[in-house]
A and B are shown apart, each in its own frame.
Chain A
Amino acid sequence: MDIAEGFRFHGDKIVNRWVEYTLSTYTSSGFFLKERDKFANPVGGNFREGLQKLFLLLSKDADPQEFTAPLEQIISIRAVQEFTPGQAVAPLNAVKHIVREAFAADKERQHLVGELYDFEFSVDLAVIAAFDIYMQCRERLYQVRIAEIKSGNHILTDSKCPSSMLDGDNKKNIKTVNGI
């Protein structure tokens, strides 16, 4: 009974709990949990897919580089959902506890609890990577804002601000508009 076998044996259960735990931070977790169609339920679907992939990687001591894709799938959503940075990444940590609980409750595999150092270290790396991704997402979001202003769409609402970005002729006209 090595640890790899332990992860395989309890894998589904652990991922399920992990997904459940992560989604329980949402108002409508009932719906997010139940509907498995990725397109009908993008939040729940992406979390399930992302956490599943991530768990596989964590449990086999994969290169932290590989964490990026599944983390991006989860964190990009949480980065726009009114969570503080800490709240956004916190559920990742939960898998440590979930795994410990799962092993501790299993008589045959209780001894594996002592062998979790590598796994937990991987989780720590994933959490750190998640912070990076969270920040990238936020920065991307601000880039999107700036791009919108530059593209000219912004002129719709507040003509004063983007007018400064336009060439002379337009600038004049827009000011006139403002002076209605």
Chain B
Amino acid sequence: MKYAFSFLAVIALILIAWLGSQIPGMPYLFGIALPYLAMMIFLGGFVYRVVQWGKSPVPFSIQTTCGQGKSLDFIKHDRLEAPDTTAEVVARMFLEIVTFRSLFRNTKSELHDGPKITYESSKWLWLFAIIFHYSFLMVVIRHMRLFLDPVPFWIAWLEFGDGLFQVGAPTWYMTDIGLLAGCVLLFSRRLITRHVRFISLVNDYFPLVLIFAIAVTGILMRYFLRTEIDIVNIKQLAVGLVTFSPVIGTEIGAIFYIHLFLVCVLLAYFPFSKLMHFAGVFMSPTRNMKNNTRAVRHVNPWNPKIIPHSYGGYEDEFREFMVDSGIPVEKELPPKKDEEKDEE
């Protein structure tokens, strides 16, 4: 049901864009107003969320150590897994963010009783995630060619690399396939793996379907419906958008508006969803803190003033016993006391 709803929602969005953009005058809404609005929500929301997170302090140093900490000279320190300096933290975070190291850690011992299935199954999630995220990143970077005039040389290099296999005409980009495959794989995993299906919410299916639809419309435009769209006009609009002087030329094509509208939805949805993990991963205290808490004091800004049950109070209660058994005391016993300790 949850995944079906995601499909319905995306289909509804597609219909809105398709029908909407046919109405005269509406291209200005879909081509100019909504993209600006979506970008504003995205940037504003993104910054708002990060600031909100930043507003809450990190009262305690709660790093998780995944290896030997720095201690004695002859004990080998695992610099990446239990970082002691800022540089080591940066290296840890870099690998975490760039290679999804924690997911890769998902290894299993090779000691098996059954002859079948070995430990590769535990790397699937890592693999799917890598395919999905890197394809997405490349697709976004390649789109920069639409907004930049002249197109920087490095984008052309990336495009060349991406289309290295020279399949089809125009050349298919690996990352287009990768993005589609990533969506399908992650989506199927949610459906098929029982415990993941049990925990999945609409919020988990919807972005995948949305991104899938964006990729499909994009691919349709590039490979199949090239004649339906006017790439010159699109570039003109894109450059116009970034230079704050947007113009919509003649007919651009409904498929373009669908694509753009879905992207707008994704942008606007981003700051209010789990997609914020993109920013959160940088700020996770268990990963971005140094494991040097005994060497350098971490300060809690709201450290409450709480004093222990005092030694004085403790000695007052037990002085007699302490004196009797020869434990040193601060204050000797008074000459004589009549009160007996109450039992029970």
Contact = CB atoms under 8 A, between A and B. Distances in A.
A176 to B, nearest CB: 6
A175 interface: yes
Interface stretch (A32-40, A76-84, A142-150): A32-40
A37 B108 contact: yes
Interface string B331-344: 00000000001111
Q: How big is chain A's contact interface, by range?
A: 10 to 19
Contacts of A36: 112-114, 116-117
Contacts of A86: none
Given A28-B195, A31-B195, A37 B111 contact: yes
B109 A179 contact: no
A77 B45 CA distance: 51
A49 interface: yes
Main secondary structure of the interface of A (DSSP, over half): helix
Contacts of B111: 37-39
Contacts of A40: 108-109
Contact of A48 (B109, B113, B121, B195): B113
A30 B199 CA distance: 14
B337 to A, nearest CB: 16
B138 to A, nearest CB: 33
B309 interface: no
B113 A30 contact: no
B113 A172 contact: no
Interface string A140-180: 00000000000000000000000000000000100110110
Contact of A30 (B112, B114, B195, B341): B195
Contacts of A175: 343-344
Given A30-B194, A48-B114, A172 B109 contact: no
B48 interface: no
Interface string A44-76: 010011001000000000000000000000000
A38 B342 CA distance: 56
B118 to A, nearest CB: 8
B119 interface: yes
Contacts of A45: 113
A37 B341 contact: no
A55 B201 CA distance: 42
Contact of B109 (A28, A37, A52): A37
A49 B111 CA distance: 13
B126 to A, nearest CB: 16
Chain B CB count within 10 A is highest, among A30, A37, A40, A172, for A37
Contact of B344 (A38, A48, A49, A179): A179
A31 B197 CA distance: 12
Contacts of B195: 28, 30-31
A34 B70 CA distance: 39
Contacts of A172: 343
6 contacts: A36-B112, A37-B108, A39-B108, A40-B109, A179-B342, A179-B343
Interface of A: 28, 30-31, 34, 36-40, 45, 48-49, 52, 172, 175-176, 178-179
Given A38-B113, A176-B341, 16 more contacts: A34-B121, A36-B112, A36-B113, A36-B114, A36-B116, A37-B109, A37-B111, A37-B119, A38-B112, A39-B108, A40-B108, A40-B109, A48-B113, A49-B113, A175-B344, A179-B344
